[in-house]
Chain A
Amino acid sequence: MTTLTDPPAESFKLSMLIYDTRYRSITFQTIALIAFLLLIGWLINNTAQNLVDLGKEPSFGFMNEPAGYDINQRLIEYNSQSSHLRAAFVGLLNTLLVAVLGCITATVVGVIVGVLRLSGNWLVARLMTVYVEMFRNVPVLMWIVLAMAILIEGLPSPRDFRGEDAVASMSVFDSVAVTNRGVYVPEPLFARGLGDVSVGGLFEISLDLIAILVVLGGGLFVSNLIKKRADVTQNATGVRPRTWHLRTGVIVVPLLILLVILGFHLGYPELSGFNFSGGIHLRNSLIALWLALSLYTAAFIAEIVRAGIMAISKGQTEAAAALGIRPRRIMSLVILPQALRVIIPPLISQYLNLTKNSSLAIAVGYMDITGTLMGITLNQTGRELETVLLGMLIYLSISLIISSAMNWYNSRVKLVER
C-alpha cells in the first residue's frame, strides 16, 4: 500500500509576484494603481502649492458675498445685493429650465421625425432626411447663434409698435407681442390669490399654483379610476361604456370652479416706456437656445427612434395587421412599445448631451449656471479653480440625476425575462 504524501507545502517567495502567473496580473495592476494615484496626488499637490505661491488659497468664502450684478431672467427673487451663491442658484434654475424644455421638445420632434422618416410618402421621408442631416452635421453653437441672429434681425423692435402708424402690431387678438427682445404673452393673474409660501426662506412658491396642481392631479386620478372601471366592464361584457364626457368633466369642472374662486384673469402685455410691460416675457436668448438645442438634439433622437422601429421584426406589423388593427394603432400599440427598449438607452445620452450643450448659452447671453457662476462670478472674484470645480460638480450631479431617472424608466419598460 502506497501512502500518498502531501505535496511539499509551497512557501511564498517574492519572485513569484513576477514569475507566477497567479500573482503576476495582480502585481502589475497594483503597480499601475499606485503610479496613477501618485500622478493624481502630484497634480493636486502641485496645483494647490502653486495657488498658495500666487497667494490664492482655495476657499469658498466668496460665495456668501454680495454678487453686485443683475440677472435678467430669474425664476426666484434676486437682486444685485444677493450673494454669489444665490446668483449661482438663479443660473442653475435657468439651466434646468432650458434643459427640461429642450428635452421635452426634442423628444416630441425627434419621435415624429423618426417615424416620418420611415413613411411610405417619398416626399415626407426625403424632407425628414434633409432635416436630420442638416441639423446633426453642423455644430450646435452655429445653430444657436443663427437662431438668435434670425430672432434679432427678423423681428420688429418694441419701438416699431409705437405711434399711430406703427409698423408692427400685436398678434392673437392683441394679446401676444413678438419682438426682437422676446415674446410677451399674457400672464395668468388671480384677483383673490392665496399668496405665496416661503420654502425655508430660500424662495417662494405661489399657493395658487399648488392649489391648481392639486385639483388637476385629483381630476386626473378620478379620471383614471373611471377608465379602470370601463376596462373592467369591457372585459366582463365586451362592451366599452362611453366615458369620455365623464373623464373630461372630472378634470375640467373642478379646475374651472377653482379658477373662478381665485378670480382668474389674464394680464396682457402693453407698451409702456421703452419696452412692453406686463405679461410673461420669454426672452430671445431663451427661445433661441431652446429652439436650437431641441432641433439639434431632435435630429439625433429621430435616428435613434428610426433605428428602434427598424429593430422590430416586420412580422410584428404583419401579425397586428392580420388581427385587423389599424396602421396608426399598430405603431402606437405594437411597434413603439417594443421599440422603446432599444430607444431608451441611447436616448439617455441625448438628454445628457442636451443638458451639457446648454452651457453654450453665453453665446446668446442666456444667464445659465455657466454664465453666472462660471462667468460673471468667476470674473468678479477671480476664483477660477473654485467656480469651475463647483460648476463641474453641478453638471455632474444634474447628469447623474437624469441618467438615474432614465435608467429607472428603462428598467420599467425593458423586456421582463422569466
Chain B
Amino acid sequence: MKKTAIFGALTVAGLMAGAAGAATLDDVKARGKLNCGVSTGLAGFSNPDANGNWEGFDVAVCRAVAGAVLGDANAVEFVPTTGKTRFTALASGEIDMLARNTTWTLSRDADLKFTFVGVNYYDGQGFMAPKELGVSSAKELDGATVCIQTGTTTELNLADYFRKNNMSYEPVPIETNAEAQQQYLAGACDVYTTDASGLASTRATFEDPSAHVILPEIISKEPLGPLVRHGDDEWGDIVRWSLNALIAAEEFGITSANVADMAAAAGDSPEINRMLGTEGNLGEMLGLDANWAVNAISAGGNYGEVFEKNIGESTPIGLARGLNAQWTEGGLLYSPPFR
C-alpha cells in the first residue's frame, strides 16, 4: 500500500519532468541562446572559420532560427555532434534542433521519434576515387575497400547497393570525416563514400582536388534537413517556417540587402507583406515577433544567397544548384504559402 503511494508520487514527479521539457520555445527564450547541433566539421556545411566562428550551409539554418526566435543571429551555441552522438543529443534535450546533413527517413521519423521540418538539401550518396585507379563507374568496384562514416544511412545504402549488384566489398568504418579523409588519401581504402555534397566538400579541401573523381552513380536519395524531437509541435513549426521563409524569400526576390527596405512598409504583394509582418499576424501565430521572418532572412540572406556563399559554384566546393533550385527554375524547392 505504502509502496504504491511512493511509486504514485514518483510517477507524478516523472510526468512533471516530462512536461517541463516540452516547451522548447520558452526554454530557448529564457536561455537567450539556441543550442544547435552541427557536424564536427564539414567544409561548406558547418565548419568553424579561422576565428572560431561557425559558418556554412547548415549553420545558416541555425542562425535563421536564432534570428526568428531571439532576434539575434549570433545567439547560437553550436554543439558539434558526430554521426553517432547526434540523435542522443537531440533526444536528450542537449540541443534544441539538429542541422547536420541528416537524411530524412521513415524510421528516424517514426521510430527515433524525430520531426524533420523540411529539406534544405536534396542529396544522394556517391563515391569518390583517385583518378589513377582508373575507375569510371561504381559498377566496377567489386572487391574494393570502401571508407565509410559509421552510424549513418550511407552504410546501409552501401550494403544494399553491393548486395543488389552482387559485388563484394570491404567496409572500413570510420568515426569522423577528417579521419576518413586521412585514410582515403593514404590509400588505406580505394574509394570513399558519403553524400555527394559531402564528397565535393571533402575533395575541395584536398591538396590536388583534380586527382580525384566523383563517380557518376548516385546510389540513394538523401534528403537532408533540420530536425527537432517529437512532442513539441509548436517548436517544430517555428523551425519549419524559418526554413520556409528562407526558401520563399528567394522565390519572392527578398535578399539580405533589400529585406529591411521591404519590411519598412507594406508593399504590393500581400504574401510578402504577410511574411515580413507588415500585414496580418503570422508571427503571433508562431508565438514570435511580427518581424521574425525579417530577422531570419537578414541572418544570412535567402536560401539562394546562403547556397552561393557556402557551397555554390563560386566556392571551392562548387556544387551546382541541380535539384536544389526553386521549383520555378525546375528544382524541388517549394515552400508552402505564407497565409
Contact = CB atoms under 8 A, between A and B. Distances in A.
A71 to B, nearest CB: 7
Given A46-B14, A384-B88, A152 B186 contact: yes
Given A70-B159, A80-B159, A181-B188, A365 B170 contact: no
B10 A41 contact: yes
Contacts of A384: 88, 91
B13 A46 contact: yes
Nearest to B143: A273
B212 interface: no
Contact of B14 (A50, A275, A277, A379): A50
Contact of B171 (A54, A71, A273): A71
Contact of A49 (B15, B113, B132, B231): B15
A17 interface: no
A375 B10 contact: no
Contacts of B162: 70
A365 B173 contact: yes
B186 A180 contact: yes
B131 interface: no
Interface stretch (B53-61, B148-156, B308-316): B148-156
B159 A274 contact: no
A152 B190 contact: no
Contacts of B91: 54, 382, 384
Contacts of A153: 186
A332 B176 CA distance: 49
B323 interface: no
Contacts of A152: 182-183, 186, 188
B17 interface: yes
A380 interface: yes
Contact of A80 (B6, B84, B163): B163
B235 to A, nearest CB: 15
A365 B112 contact: no
B143 A53 contact: no
B173 A275 contact: no
A56 interface: yes
B174 interface: yes
A112 interface: no
B175 interface: yes
B156 A365 contact: no
A152 to B, nearest CB: 5
B13 A181 contact: no
A149 B186 CA distance: 10
A387 B189 CA distance: 30
A79 B160 CA distance: 11
A237 interface: no
Contacts of B10: 41-42, 45-46, 49
A50 to B, nearest CB: 5
B172 interface: yes
B150 to A, nearest CB: 6
A371 B18 CA distance: 31
Contacts of A49: 10-11, 14-15, 17-18
Contacts of A275: 143-145, 170, 190
A159 B150 contact: no
Given A272-B143, A274-B144, A367-B173, A381 B186 contact: no
B171 A379 contact: no
Given A49-B14, A53-B18, A367-B173, A376 B151 contact: yes
Contacts of B133: 159, 274
Contacts of A251: none
A181 B145 contact: yes
B170 A284 contact: no
A157 interface: yes
B190 A68 contact: no
A190 interface: no
A371 B112 contact: no
Contact of B175 (A55, A158, A180, A365): A365
A69 interface: yes
B245 interface: no
B230 interface: yes
A362 interface: yes
A378 interface: yes
B187 interface: yes
Interface in A352-382: 362-363, 365, 367, 371, 375-376, 378-382
A140 B133 CA distance: 36
A382 B14 contact: no
A38 interface: yes
Contacts of B173: 72, 362, 365, 367, 371, 376
Contacts of A180: 186-188
Interface string B48-84: 0000000000000000000000000000000000011
A365 B187 contact: no
Interface string A165-209: 000000000000000110000000000000000000000000000
A24 to B, nearest CB: 25
B111 interface: yes
B27 interface: no
Contact of B142 (A273, A367, A378): A273
Contact of A159 (B6, B112, B187): B187
A50 B17 contact: yes
B92 to A, nearest CB: 9
A380 B87 CA distance: 10
Interface in B4-47: 6-7, 10-11, 13-15, 17-18
Interface of A: 38, 41-42, 45-46, 48-50, 53-56, 68-72, 79-81, 149, 152-153, 157-159, 180-181, 272-275, 277, 284-285, 362-363, 365, 367, 371, 375-376, 378-382, 384
Given A81-B163, A362-B173, A367-B173, 4 more contacts: A53-B15, A68-B160, A152-B182, A384-B91
17 contacts: A46-B13, A46-B17, A48-B14, A54-B113, A68-B160, A70-B158, A70-B162, A72-B171, A149-B182, A157-B188, A285-B172, A365-B174, A371-B150, A376-B151, A380-B151, A382-B107, A382-B108
